[in-house]
Amino acid sequence: MSSYKPEDIESKWQEYWQENKTFKTPEDHDKPKYYVLDMFPYPSGSGLHVGHPEGYTATDILARYKRMNGFNVLHPIGWDAFGLPAEQYAVKTGTHPRETTEKNVNRFREQLQDLGFSYDWDREVNTTDPDYYKWTQWIFLKLYEKGLAYEDDVPVNWCPELGTVLANEEVIDGKSEVGGYPVIKKPMRQWVLKITEYAERLLEGLDDLDWPDSTKKMQRDWIGKSIGADIDFKVADHDEEIRVFTTRPDTIFGATYMVLAPEHDLVDEITIEDQKEAVANYREEAARKSDLERTELSDEKTGVFTGAYAINPATGEEIPIWVADYVLVSYGTGAIMAVPGQDERDWEFAEKFDLPIVRTVQPPEDFEGDAYTGEGKAINSEFLNGLEVDEAKEKIIDWLEEHDAGKKAVNYKLRDWLFSRQRYWGEPFPIIHVDGEPKPVGEDNLPVTLPEMDDFEPTDDGNPPLAKATDWVNTEDPETGEPAKRETNTMPQWAGSCWYYLRYCSPEFEGGPVDSDEEKYWMPVDMYVGGAEHSVLHLLYARFWHKVLYDCGVVSTKEPFQRLVHQGMILGEVEFTGYKHEGNWISANTKDDFEEVERIKLDEEQVEKKGDDFVIEGTEIRVDAKAHKMSKSRGNVVNPDDIVDQYGADSMRLYEMFMGPLEQVKPWSTQDVDGVYRFLGRVWRMIIDEDSGELNDSVTDEEPPKEQLKVLHECIQKVTGDITDLSFNTAISAMMIFVNEANKWDNHPKSVLNSFIKLLSPFAPHIAEEIWYRLGHDETIAYTDWPEFNEEYLVSDTQLYPIQVNGKVRGEIHVPREKAKDKEYVLSEAKAEDNVQRYLEDGNLVKEIFVPERIVNLVVK
């Protein structure tokens, strides 16, 4: 072997690492620890796509870097392996989901190993393993014991095609996130987790986390805390009161009607005889509507009058009570006081149904529009008149409390978490029903394993597939021996991923989900890398469970993930698209003017850049130049296996990091992989003689000269700093600069090469191990010491000063190091520079700017 052949050296070192368990997590707790975690992958049938290795390479670089800096590193991987696709495949083909899952996991594992990631494979976990989900069930029992898990009959998102209930967040625009099937509302008995009880703590906990601001904001918005008041409205000629939540109690004098959600409990009771039919029809219609229809029809407000009236506690006047679906039953109290003067939705409704509108906040003089929602002085509000919004709020709340009509209140958008699914391939609940009442099975009876089945279709009446396993369903109460029925729902996929990061700390531990000594050492996760699509759900659910476990004394930290980073999506290759209408080319910017437009994919050679746009070569016809999200249907998916086959894993890793900043969205370009591949080839040839396979003659044992040390230490400084900042793209660029420089040298002292190869090793570990070995080392490079840079080599003998005249660079001078900070000297040299002189001669020097070791600017008038 002589030239750089990744296929040979990569498999060699992958085998070496595995045989020697190079990356086994150290068991001692003596050194500082670093826990670096990738988001739990779902092992899909299509295998790894190029987005996976992006985050994984970043964490792997950090893991390897930290090991070389003396840390004990926990860098694990595992499988979030329950889930719908394997079950749907089972329904279609009869293949048991376990088989599909096992096959997919094996494929994923192989692909990850081919990329040379330094995971501790002894700590692999799998959510579908009964030894794992035993503890998922155990945690559920804790939730149940604490009253945080309850059964409820709730209108749920029922998807007939998938035969399952979906969580709100799995429904997008009224269609299922998976498959895009229609979703309707249907009441069903469900398990629900009381995440709302933790709303405030989930909100507060965000403050101290080192997370992207946008992610924190999304979580805050999702929790949606708002402060206002609960106000009770008496119903005229009834004993009932209707409670509303409002953030604008100050506008109560403008509350000219009320609205109940169609599902509100009091609707039937208060509706007068004459309106019963209309209201019943409206409610039925609203129930039948899917979320999609509700959204689509949202332009036009609808509603019916109940015939009943409420008494506005502030004005004492009777106001009509309506039913309308623009009020949601699931937020606040499901009822509102409508203040059209200060609320756009109420205004719209009031206009449509001819209800009175009273302004209670003075809009500015130039205000044009309908409802006014801004700041201003109260009007038409008796004792509130003249007060600003905040003052008025305070005063009215005091007034309401005095008159026993309301009180200050806080509300959250966050809803309780619908926690059951009508599926087979998920964790069974550790719950039995005795005489129809739920009862936990008890810790000793865990795990409750899935029964063997070969039919995974739900029953016709919408019961989960597990209902068909009658031998399994019909059991007895382990305590009393009474007949009992098992819960046939299963947990959602989120369950297993809510606590997996804990299991990695002690994957074999049998006394609980996590060994407390290990937990105290390893937690919290120091660096968590994964897609922004999990900004809300996974991260919120996991934080919720973590806080519950904290309350149970299972974990010692209040938050699981101290630092979080989202890798940006990798898009497909840039595509050029031209448009034709009736056979003639049309410009891309006019394509919306035509009804029928034909899209034509163009080659790079067929287009050229003209101004800000790309056009068809030789014409003015604009085309679209865009990189799209990779998708099977578009046919632009890049398979990492192909890149590894063609260029090797080291090039794959290097390219994904070189593309651009980790967190940014970036288009893929296979051609660009050439660049990093050539770089690795240059590294190889700098050290290895291609003919003999021996070290080059230029590789010597001599002491490096100062110029070489300068180049090396600049590289060390840059790479070290950039890894810390996660700026892997510029770290690689720094190594390229080093190699470009070093290739000009006649001699390559081993000490310099050793240091450089260490720098390269977290990025391209295979070639680094091979060269390290050829440089005469017996041990893996993975635990050698990271090179330290020495400031003293970094200083050059001269200092370069660009010389500006009126802010424009007109020349540059080099001054000796010892004079670099000498203002007098530098300025006189600057003025003496030939080109600068011309400008000085033409005007008067009025000001001299001298920034030490940076720049000189002369202001001339």
Binding site feature residues for ATP: 632
Q: Is the Cβ of residue 150 or residue 326 nearer to RNA in the bound state?
A: 326
Beta-strand relationship, 699-700 and 748-749: parallel
Report the nearest approach of RNA to the CB of residue 60 (Å): 20
Query: What is the DSSP code string of 386-434?
Result: T-BHHHHHHHHHHHHHHTTSEEEEEEES---EE--BS-SSSPBPSEEEE
Q: Is the Cβ of residue 221 or residue 703 nearer to RNA in the bound state?
A: 221
What angle (nearest 5°) sits at the alpha carbon of residue 586, between those of residues 580 and 589? 120
Q: Is the Cβ of residue 212 or residue 478 nearer to RNA in the bound state?
A: 212
Query: What is the DSSP code string of 421-474?
Result: BS-SSSPBPSEEEETTEEEE--GGG---PPPP-S--PPPTTS--GGGG-HHHHE
Residues 660, 666 contacting (CB under 8 angstroms): yes
Under DSSP, the state recorded for 382 is G
Q: Is the Cβ of residue 328 or residue 552 nearer to RNA in the bound state?
A: 328
How far is the C-alpha of 572 from the C-alpha of 570, rounded, in Å?
7
How far is the C-alpha of 308 from the C-alpha of 234, rounded, in Å?
11
Report the nearest approach of RNA to the CB of residue 615 (Å): 12
Report the nearest approach of RNA to the CB of residue 217 (Å): 6
Looking at the DSSP bridge assignments, the partners of residue 571 are: 629, 667
- Whole-angstrom Cα Rg for the chain: 34
Looking at the DSSP bridge assignments, the partners of residue 194 are: none
Report the nearest approach of RNA to the CB of residue 569 (Å): 8
Q: Is the Cβ of residue 428 or residue 811 nearer to RNA in the bound state?
A: 811
How far is the C-alpha of 159 from the C-alpha of 853, rounded, in Å?
68
Residues 767, 9 contacting (CB under 8 angstroms): yes
Q: For the chain, how are helix, strand and coil distributed in percent, rounded to 5?
A: 40, 25, 35
H/E run at residue 657: helix 649-658
Report the nearest approach of RNA to the CB of residue 538 (Å): 12
Burial of 438 (0-12, 13-18, 19+ CB in 10 A): middle
Residue list for the binding site: 632
Q: Is the Cβ of residue 461 or residue 851 nearer to RNA in the bound state?
A: 851
Residues 522, 33 contacting (CB under 8 angstroms): yes
**Residue partners of 813: CB distance under 8 A and separation at least 6:** 800, 801, 803, 826, 829, 830, 833
Report the nearest approach of RNA to the CB of residue 824 (Å): 18
How far is the C-alpha of 694 from the C-alpha of 509, rounded, in Å?
49
Report the nearest approach of RNA to the CB of residue 206 (Å): 15
Report the nearest approach of RNA to the CB of residue 552 (Å): 30
How far is the C-alpha of 309 from the C-alpha of 235, rounded, in Å?
6
Tokens 């509507």 — which residue? 289
Residues 529, 117 contacting (CB under 8 angstroms): no
Q: Is the Cβ of residue 91 or residue 569 nearer to RNA in the bound state?
A: 569
Tokens 């305590």 — which residue? 479
Report the nearest approach of RNA to the CB of residue 344 (Å): 8
Report the nearest approach of RNA to the CB of residue 729 (Å): 5
Report the nearest approach of RNA to the CB of residue 261 (Å): 6
Q: Is the Cβ of residue 462 or residue 660 nearer to RNA in the bound state?
A: 660
Report the nearest approach of RNA to the CB of residue 717 (Å): 10
Q: Is the Cβ of residue 1 or residue 272 nearer to RNA in the bound state?
A: 1
Q: Is the Cβ of residue 700 or residue 733 nearer to RNA in the bound state?
A: 733
- Cα 583 to chain center, whole Å? 44
Q: Is the Cβ of residue 142 or residue 248 nearer to RNA in the bound state?
A: 248
Token duo for residue 60: 């792997």
Looking at the DSSP bridge assignments, the partners of residue 228 are: 409
**Residue partners of 451: CB distance under 8 A and separation at least 6:** 466, 469, 471, 472
Token duo for residue 852: 């030490």
Q: Is the Cβ of residue 311 or residue 574 nearer to RNA in the bound state?
A: 574
Query: What is the DSSP code string of 106-171?
Result: HHHHHHHHHTT----GGG-EETTSHHHHHHHHHHHHHHHHTT-EEEEEEEEEEETTTTEEE-GGGE
What angle (nearest 5°) sits at the alpha carbon of residue 280, between those of residues 279 and 285? 95
Report the nearest approach of RNA to the CB of residue 128 (Å): 27
Q: Is the Cβ of residue 66 or residue 301 nearer to RNA in the bound state?
A: 301
> Smallest Cα–Cα separation from 384: which of 398, 375, 371, 395?
395
How far is the C-alpha of 219 from the C-alpha of 214, rounded, in Å?
9
Looking at the DSSP bridge assignments, the partners of residue 320 are: 309
Report the nearest approach of RNA to the CB of residue 360 (Å): 13
Q: Is the Cβ of residue 158 or residue 245 nearer to RNA in the bound state?
A: 245
Report the nearest approach of RNA to the CB of residue 858 (Å): 8
Phi–psi pair at 388, nearest 5 degrees: -75, 165
> Smallest Cα–Cα separation from 151: which of 192, 121, 111, 181?
192
Q: Is the Cβ of residue 216 or residue 750 nearer to RNA in the bound state?
A: 216
Strand, coil or helix: 722? helix
